[in-house]
Amino acid sequence: MNNLPTPDALPCFLLAAGRGERMRPLTDTTPKPLLQIQGKSLLQWHIEALVAANTNRIVINHAWLGEQIELALGDGAKWGAQIQYSPEKIALETAGGIRQALTLLNPEPYFLVINGDVFCPGFPIAAFTSRFEAQLSNGNKLLAYLALVPNPPQHPDGDFYLQGDRVSDKPITPQSQESKLTFSGIGIYHQSLFADLKLYEAAKLAPLLRSAMAKNQVFGEKYTGPWHDVGTPQRLHELNQSYDPK
């Protein structure tokens, strides 16, 4: 399982199949990941950052209004990317969507995944990948490597605990409550994490991660730079009003 990827080998899977119910009415006619901040869609922000980090192979899943995504992004050549698509008849949730796309992500055992509806300008993709590779070089057996962020106002209770570089869903000491953080929607995964899922069936990611955490196979780090879950029209409006791309 510890096949070491070369620095530019990791493909990236962008999750873009969600219906975006909380973003209605904006998402009644536009897929959520095509909503714009400062004139660029959320997906375009990700694509440009990935290419800048030498991650050119990109797979994007879609379901709701997915044809708009393909029309807007094409094959990615205008950004120097190579984009493939994994269309879903119905949204398969995070893990189910990844399972369907595994053949497009081959042959590398590991791949990067980013939620299409997060806005994280400046996220250090290359450094994040390098620290993941360092974990492999140290002999650690990873099924997942996650970026965790301070809990935002809309998610004050967090998701997982970060103890050193290990990620867990249970505290080890009474003081661990202070270390509970929110999963950013950015992670690197091994294909075997999804091997037991049935193809074309919806499946959530969290149960798979918790199972791997129980085996001490989930590592991660805390990221304190700009990160936003663009979950409501109000948050989108505030980002367009406040974010200065300069």
Task: Say yes or no to pLDDT of 40 above 80.
Answer: yes
CA separation for the pair 113, 86 (Å, rounded): 14
Greatest Cα pair distance, the chain, in angstroms, is 51
| Kind of pairing between the strands at 160-163 and 82-87 | unpaired
What was the pLDDT predicted at 178?
A: 62
Contact between 158 and 181 under an 8 Å Cβ cutoff? The reply is: yes
The pTM (predicted TM-score) of the whole model is 0.92
C-alpha closest to that of 226 among 113, 149, 116, 128: 149
The pLDDT value given to residue 174: 67
pLDDT digits (tens, 9 = 90+) for 85-129: 999 998 899 999 999 999 999 878 999 999 999 999 999 999 999
**Average pLDDT for residues 137-158, to the nearest whole number?**
90
How distant is the alpha carbon of residue 15 from its chain centre?
7
> What is the mean pLDDT of the segment spanning 137-145?
87
- Using a pLDDT cut of 90, give the percent of the chain over it: 67
- What is the average pLDDT across 30-59? 94
Q: Helix 42-52 vs helix 66-73: angle between axes, to the nearest 10 degrees?
A: 40
Quick one: tokens of 156?
Answer: 């004050």
Mean pLDDT of 41-64: 95
Q: Render the chain in DSSP notation, one character per residue.
A: --PPPPTT---EEEE-----GGGTTGGGTS-GGG-EETTEEHHHHHHHHHHHTT--EEEEEE-TTHHHHHHHHTTSGGGT-EEEEEE-SS--HHHHHHHHHHHHHTT-SEEEEEETTEE-TT--HHHHHHHHHHHHHTT---SEEEEEEPPPTT-TT-SEEEETTEEESS-SSGGGGGGEEEEEEEEEEEGGGGTTSPTT----SHHHHHHHHHTT-EEEEE--S--EE--SHHHHHHHHHH----
Q: What pLDDT is stored for residue 154 in this prediction?
A: 84
Kindly calculate the radius of gyration of the chain based on its CA atoms and give it in whole angstroms. 17
Is residue 28's pLDDT more than 90?
no
CA–CA dist 186, 236 (Å, integer):
19
Domains of the chain: 12-240 (3.90.550.10)
Note whether 132 and 140 are within 8 A (CB): no
pLDDT greater at residue 244 or residue 159: 159
Confidence of residue 175 (pLDDT cuts 50, 70, 90): low
Asked if the model's pLDDT at residue 5 lies above 80, the reply is: no
